[in-house]
Structure 1
Amino acid sequence: MALKIYGIAASRAFRPLWAAEELGIPYEHVRLHYNDPSLKEAPFRGINPNGTVPAIDDGGLVLFESLATTLHLARTRPEGGLWPADEAGHSQVLQWTLWAATEAEPLARQWFHHTTFLPPEARRPELAEAALGQLQARLRVLDEHLARQPHLVGEHFTVADLNVAAVLQRLADLGGEACHHAMAWHRRCWSRPAAQRALALRQAA
């Protein structure tokens, strides 16, 4: 099988798994937990020198960084419909993916770590509250954009929608209920059959 995806679905590996499901790409799923000690050892560091998941091996091209992997899969399989046909669309996909990585994910991650992920004794509620407050302005940007069109790049679901929806997977908990257009878009994204298939991989792990 030409494509390998490393990482359990309950990690950022969910993103390339969702993309592969959308694109109908056969793949081998190497279910490595993000805390697996083997990630820090030489064999896996030859795949991802950061010692983290996800990573993919696409016919010998090895990539890490989850959002880079989804962009690669969409761009190299344009027939799958996730990659826009025009140059303006390409640029908008990059814009929204970088927005997700720089504007949304750091704050969403800070909130998640200090409410759920870290052991209770390590959590700092004031950091969770600060992240949540700062995130509201970002969510309004998303909501205002989606008030004008059904998807981030034009009329159709693209890898931009996948990337932003995956980064903001807990949108309702992050204050998204106040952003009606964004919430409706988020529900549409996550109700897609490919997203549901990728979610089922979490339960199967």
Structure 2
Amino acid sequence: MNLAMITIYGVHRSRASRNIWLAHELGIPFKLVPVIQHYRLKEPIPADVVHTKSPSFLKVNPNGHIPTLEDDGLVLHESLAINLYLAKKHGGPLAPSNVGEDGLMGMWSLWAATEVEAHSLSIAQNGPTASAIDALRAPFAVLQEALPNGFLVGDRFTVADINVAEVVRYADGATELFRGAPRVKAWFEACRARPAYRKMWDAREKEPA
């Protein structure tokens, strides 16, 4: 089956990693248009470097953030929403099988964004401070209880696991959080062991830090 090429604007060292991982899981072709976060660049910025404040990119995403997806005329922003869309469009075991699973996948994606991401990003940027670890103890306990069967939705690996794992990944340096939540630790390690994740991560490691 021929699949139309989607376009992902971003780089591997950004939230676009979530969409790239899912694209590899689904086996769908994509074109990656490199757009670098403006804050990572030093002035003067070369004219040929496209970044999140470049006029050409702001025409694609006026919010000035990556990633953005273009798919047959549809333009979507927000990495977690992009993943939910792609999973539903392409179907298979990563997608919801009914409206209940659809709701759960959306719930867990929003939960990760609202309950976890700010604190996990703080750990990624500043190290495992006491305040960030304390803020994540309750969410990690919630996640621990949600993983009796090893996955978040439908007793199988889905887009919900990708979305949540990519947010939890920022807290990887807080080893005591994972020690205190063994199901979370096992689930997270299983997610990172998937070939599609490794393919994304290997490409990420080749990008400039």
TM normalised by structure 1 equals: 0.88
* Counterparts of 1:112 and 1:188, CA distance in 2: 21
Do structure 1's residue 49 and structure 2's residue 50 form an aligned pair? no
* Counterparts of 1:168 and 1:114, CA distance in 2: 15
What's the C-alpha RMSD, in Å, of the aligned pairs? 1.6
Do structure 1's residue 32 and structure 2's residue 35 form an aligned pair? yes
Task: Determine helix, strand or coil for the equivalent of 2:75.
Answer: strand
| Structure 2: unaligned runs, 5 residues or longer | 42-49
Letter in 2 for 1:77: H
Using the aligned pairs only, state the percent identity.
37
4+ aligned runs moved over 3 Å, structure 1 = none
* Counterparts of 2:51 and 2:178, CA distance in 1: 37
Letter in 1 for 2:89: T
Task: Determine helix, strand or coil for the equivalent of 1:39.
Answer: coil
Aligned residues: 192
* Counterparts of 1:16 and 1:151, CA distance in 2: 19
**CA distance change for structure 1 residues 132 and 187 in 2, over 3 Å: closer, same or farther?**
same
Alignment partner, residue 78 of structure 1: 91
Q: Deviations over 1:25-70 (max 9, x none)?
A: 1001112221266421322111111112111111221111111111
Do structure 1's residue 8 and structure 2's residue 11 form an aligned pair? yes
Letter in 2 for 1:150: G
Do structure 1's residue 61 and structure 2's residue 92 form an aligned pair? no
Tell me by how many angstroms 1:129 deviates: 2.4
Higher helix residue share: 1
Task: Determine helix, strand or coil for the equivalent of 2:120.
Answer: helix
Tell me by how many angstroms 1:171 deviates: 4.3
Tell me by how many angstroms 1:130 deviates: 1.2
Aligned partner (choices 155, 175, 178) of residue 176 of structure 1: 178
TM normalised by structure 2 equals: 0.86
